[in-house]
Structure 1
Amino acid sequence: MKLLYFVGATLAVAALSYAFWPIPEPLEQNAATVSESDTALVDVLLPDTLSANAQIGKSMFEAKCAACHGLNAVGQDGIAPPLVHVIYEPNHHGDESFQRAATLGVQAHHWRFGDMPPVEGITRGEVTMIIAYIRELQRANGIN
């Protein structure tokens, strides 16, 4: 009987935690940043230069990810979140999180955009280059 109460209390706490978990707000906008469209959720400061891997990752991101996440990972209102956001900092969403999301898809948990489907035909190596690009964008915007 005690086990039943414990399980019920645990489920109640989990449900309340989920219901009241804060939904992140977009980053504050800064006059020195750029956004690509009216649907962009954040403005992103672009780095002066990109490493060779990040340059490859940028072209792959534009081909495989930008349709949803927007050019330069600014997100798109009603479509997909910005990846240049503190939620995706390396200590919270490590590189393997990006690998798994691209390969397996991911259930919505931080944002209210719905589930992300797997990216068809993407390889682990391509995602590695895309991560290099995302991380350089993040660092240029103070997300380490």
Structure 2
Amino acid sequence: MKSIAVFFAFVALIAGAWYVTLDNGRDAGETALPEGALAAVTLPSSFSEQEEIGARAYEASCAVCHGTNASGKVGVAPPLVHKIYEPSHHGDMAFVLAAQNGVRAHHWKFGNMPPVEGLTRAEVLNIVAYVRALQRENGIH
């Protein structure tokens, strides 16, 4: 019985090491769930120039709450790569208004979102382009 337990412990150790190795050096097309993230996000193979600019603005202004690649953060903010934020439910202007005015909590239990200071409308639209690219890659149209 002890040898069976040792065998399964060894298998679990090897499987864990294999999983960690997959998450290192993540490339386009790979899906991973970062620690504390609420959604696994598959990255597109490439981004347009606007989407790349939006990605940089997102990382600077949004990732602290909404997580890397819009995957959300447990106990902080929801993932933006989620069916709730599909274009037919939350259009691009919803993102612009959310950044400008903040949002009263209504889909999630994270509390209200405050306005995001210092972002121009153009910067928010670049961020939206980036988020939409992530959404499309993850089957949200």
Structure 2 partner of 1:68: 65
1:122-133 residue pairs with structure 2 within 5 A?
122-133=119-130
Please list every run of 5 or more consecutive structure 2 residues that lacks an aligned counterpart in the other structure: 1-29
Q: Of 17, 32, 35, which residue of structure 2 is paired with 1:34?
A: 32
Percent identity of equivalent pairs: 58
1:88 aligned onto 2:85: yes
| Partner Cα separation in structure 2 for residue 69 and residue 106 of structure 1 | 14
Structure 2 partner of 1:141: 138
- The residue type paired with residue 88 of structure 1 is Y
Aligned pairs, number: 112
Could you say what the CA RMSD is over the residues aligned between the two structures, in angstroms?
Answer: 0.7
Please list every run of 5 or more consecutive structure 1 residues that lacks an aligned counterpart in the other structure: 1-31
| Partner Cα separation in structure 2 for residue 40 and residue 66 of structure 1 | 11
Q: Which runs of at least 4 in structure 1 moved beyond 3 Å after TM superposition?
A: none
Larger Rg: 2
3-state DSSP of counterpart to 2:58: helix
1:33: Cα distance to partner? 1.1
3-state DSSP of counterpart to 1:134: helix
1:44 and 1:84 in contact (8 A); partners too: yes
Structure 1 partner of 2:41: 44
The TM-score, its normalising length taken from structure 2, stands at: 0.78
| Partner Cα separation in structure 1 for residue 124 and residue 78 of structure 2 | 17
